[in-house]
Amino acid sequence: MNPIITIIIGFVTSGLLWLFFRPPFGKNIVRLNTDKRIVALTYDDGPNPPYTERLLDVLAKHNVKATFFMIGNRIEKHPETVNRVIAEGHQVGNHSYSHPLLGFLPPFYVQRQIERTDALLQQHGIEKSSVFRAPMLTRFLPVAYVLAKQNRIHISGNVWSWDWTTQNSDKITETVLKKTLSSTEAGSIIVLHDGKAENKNADRSGTIEATDRIITALKQDGYQFVRLSDISHPCTVGC
């Protein structure tokens, strides 16, 4: 093949891949827009009794509010847990209906996954404009396209706990504290899990213990905890 054609094909392929994996449109929030010592605890893949309830007990002990990104089919299964999360003042967001890898699926399917969970959240008094986080944070082209049509923001994060790979509370605590305290920018969004994808029950004892220790350590260092909705203007990449 002609070397020039090979180079052109390479550039086109690279551009298409970049467009798919890093869409240049839509809003993707990675941290909060603040210069204060503020962090947001976020939890994915619930509700997941009894671990979500145990986590709520820890948050109540510290008088801390968090944001829970819930899966639709788990909302259907555990409505009483959803009600408690809301009653205790936490924010609830949309995390799809069944936790597929949305970034590799067609837009109509992405939209259906979001809308089904929107409808379930509305039954619990949560407005459609609630925040959204894609499963495994895959804000690839199909997801970005659907969210942009709805003028909706995707919530990512800049501190990953990796608690979906381990329930060793020491490791989870160390990972979160190291990343949060070493960050050169304020307003970290911390990604944790109170449940597990694919509607499976999961022991989250390590995450619960780590949450207790993370809150204690960050409070001692002067940090405050907020829900995502407590900050008016979250920050996208580069701001």
Say which of 44, 45, 118, 194 is annotated catalytic. Answer: 44
194 as an active site residue: the answer is no
- Contact residues for 155 (Cβ-Cβ < 8 A; gap 6+): 29, 42, 67, 69, 93, 131, 132, 133, 189, 228, 234
Say which of 154, 193, 194, 212 is annotated catalytic. Answer: 193
| Contact predicate 188/180, CB 8 Å | yes
Point out which residues pair with 132 in neighbouring strands.
94, 154
99 as an active site residue: the answer is no
Phi, psi of 139 (to 5 degrees): -85, 60
CB neighbours of residue 220 within 10 Å = 8
Active site residues: 44, 193
